[in-house]
Structure 1
Amino acid sequence: MATEVTPKRVTRRRVRTRANLLAAAFAVFAAKGYGRVSIEEVCEAAGYSRGAFYSNFDSLDELFFALYQERAELIADQVSEAFALDGPDLDVPAAVDRVTDVLLLDLDWLLVKTDFLVHAARDPAVAQSLLDHRARLRAVIADRLALAAGRFELPTVLDHVDSAAHAVIAAYDGVTTQLLLDKDVEHARVWLKQLLTALLTDGSRGLE
C-alpha cells in the first residue's frame, strides 16, 4: 500500500514546486526582463535548488515558455467567460467592461508579454505559439459575436465578426503599449473601453 501512496506524494510535491517556480519566475522576469535573469535568481526567489529547477524544466527558455503559456491560457479562458455571462442576448457595453478588466491585467504581465513578443520575433517556434494564442483569443471573441448576431449591429467598416475580433486585439495592443510607457492604468482602462465600444457598436458610446 505504501508503494501506491509515495508516487502520489511525489507528484503533488512536484506540481507544487513547478507552480512555485513559475510564480517566482513571473516576478523576476517582470522586474529584470527576459535575457537578464539567471536560473540561480529564479531558484533563489522560489526558495529551491538548481536540482529542483532541472527536475521541472530543461532550461530557462522552457520555463519562460511555460510561464507565458500558463498566463495566456488563463486570459483566453477569462475572456471566454466574460463574453458568455450574458447568454445569447449579448450586452455589448457590459461585455466590453468585463473584457477590458480581464485584458488589461497588470503592468507586470504586460512586461512579461512584451518580452515574450520580442523573443518570439527571433524564434519561429515561439512565434507560432504566440500566433496560436492570439488566434484562440480572436476565435473566442468572434464566436461570441457570431452567437449574438442579429441582436446588435457592427459598424459598417467591420462587416464580419472576424474583422471585429482582429480589431479588438489590435486596440488592446495599442492601448497597452501606451500603458507600458505612462503607467496610467485607469486612463488605459477608460480609453480601451471607449475604443472597444466604438468598434463593436454604432459608436454612440464611443470616443469622448
Structure 2
Amino acid sequence: MAVGGTTGRVTRRRARTRANLLRAAFSVFAAKGFGRVSIEEVCAAAGYSRGAFYSNFTGLDELFFALYTERAELIADQVAGALATDGSGLDVPAAVDRVTEALLLDRDWLLVKTDFLVHAARDPAVAASLLEHRARLRRAVADRLARAGGHTALPAVLGGAEGAAHAVIAAYDGVTTQLLLDRDVGHARAWLKQLLTALLTDGSAEPPPRGRG
C-alpha cells in the first residue's frame, strides 16, 4: 500500500514537473525563438535542474515537439467540438461562427508554431511527425464536415469533406500568418469567418472591414 502510494506521488510529481517545463518552454520559445534557447534557460524559467529536464525529455527537440503536440491537439479538440452535431447533420453557417470563436488565435503560440514549421522543414523525421499531426486535425474536420448534408451541402468544387478540410486548414494558416504581422485578433477572426463561409457555403456573409492586407 505504501509502495503504491509512493509511486502515485512520484508519478503525479513527474507529470507536474513535465507540465511546468512545457509551460516555461512555451514562454521562452515565444520570447526568443527555438534556435536561440538553451536547456539551461528552460530549466531556469521553470525553476528546475538539468536532471529534472532530462528525466522528462532527451533534449530540446523532444520538448519542442511535445509542446507542439499539446497545442495541436487542443486545436483539433476545439475544431471537433465546434463542428460537433446532434446526429441530425451539420448547420455549416452556425458551425463557422462556433469555429471562429473557439479557435486558438494566440500570437505567442503562432510564433512558436512558425519556429517549429521551419525546424521541421529542415528535418525529414520531424516533418513526418508534424504531417501526421496535421493529418489528424484534417481528419477531425473532415469527419464533422461529412455530416453537413443534413443542413447545408458543401460546394462541389471542394471535392467533398476531405477537400473542404484541407481548405479549412489552409484558411486558418493564412489568417494566422497575417495575425503574426498585424497583431489584430479581431480582424483575424473576422477574416477567418469570411473565408470559411465562402469556402463551405455559397459565400453569403458580410465581409470584414477593409484596410489590412
Q: Which residue of 2 aligns with 1:136?
A: 136
C-alpha contact (below 8 Å) 2:90/2:150 kept by paired residues: no
Contact kept in structure 2, 1:198 and 1:207, CA below 8 Å: no
Q: Provide the residue aligned with 1:124 in structure 2.
A: 124
Contact 2:43-2:49 at 8 Å conserved across structures: yes
Alpha carbons 1:154, 1:201 under 8 Å: kept: yes
In 1, the alpha carbon distance for the partners of 2:160 and 2:93 equals 19
Q: Which amino acid aligns with 1:178?
A: Q
Structure 1 residue aligned with 2:170: 170
Kindly state the Cα deviation for residue 183 of structure 1 after the two structures are TM-superposed: 0.8
SS at match of 2:149: coil
- Of 45-54 and 92-101, deviating more is 92-101
Q: Cα distance, 1:8 vs. partner?
A: 1.2
Query: Aligned equivalents of 2:103 and 2:128: distance in 1?
Result: 21
Identity of aligned residues (%): 78
Instruction: Find the aligned partners of 1:23 and 1:152 in 2 and give their Cα distance.
Output: 41
Which residue does 1:38 correspond to in 2? 38
Q: TM-score, normalised by structure 1?
A: 0.94
Q: Which residue of 2 aligns with 1:102?
A: 102
Code of the aligned partner of 1:41 = E
Q: What is the deviation of 1:96? A: 1.1
Counterpart-to-counterpart distance in 2, 1:158 and 1:126: 29
Asked if structure 2 preserves the Cα contact closer than 8 Å seen for 1:153 and 1:202, the reply is: no
Partner of 1:113: 113
> How many angstroms apart in 2 are the aligned matches of 1:25 and 1:131?
22
Inter-partner Cα distance in structure 2 for 1:161 and 1:22 = 34
2:64 match: 64
Question: Deviations along 1:88-128, whole A, 9 cap, x unmatched?
Answer: 33221221122123334300111111111001101111111
Structure 2 counterpart of 1:98, one-letter code? R
Alignment of 1:1-208 (within 5 A): 1-85=1-85, 87-205=87-205, 207=207
- 1:141 alignment partner, SS class: helix
TM-score, with length taken from structure 2: 0.92
Flag the 1:105–1:87 CA change in 2: closer, same or farther, 3 A: farther
Assess if the C-alpha contact under 8 Å between 1:194 and 1:205 holds in 2. yes
User: 2:91–2:150: 8 Å Cα contact kept in structure 1?
Assistant: no
**Is the contact between residue 89 and residue 148 of structure 1 (CA under 8 Å) also seen in structure 2?**
yes
> 1:80·1:141 contact (CA, 8 Å) conserved in 2?
yes
Letter in 2 for 1:64: F
Q: Distance in 2 between matches of 1:92 and 1:204?
A: 12
Rate the CA distance shift 1:161–1:85 in 2: closer, same or farther, 3 A. closer
The CA deviation at 1:160 is 1.4
Count of residues in Structure 1 that have an aligned counterpart in Structure 2: 208
Find the aligned partners of 2:41 and 2:204 in 1 and give their Cα distance: 51
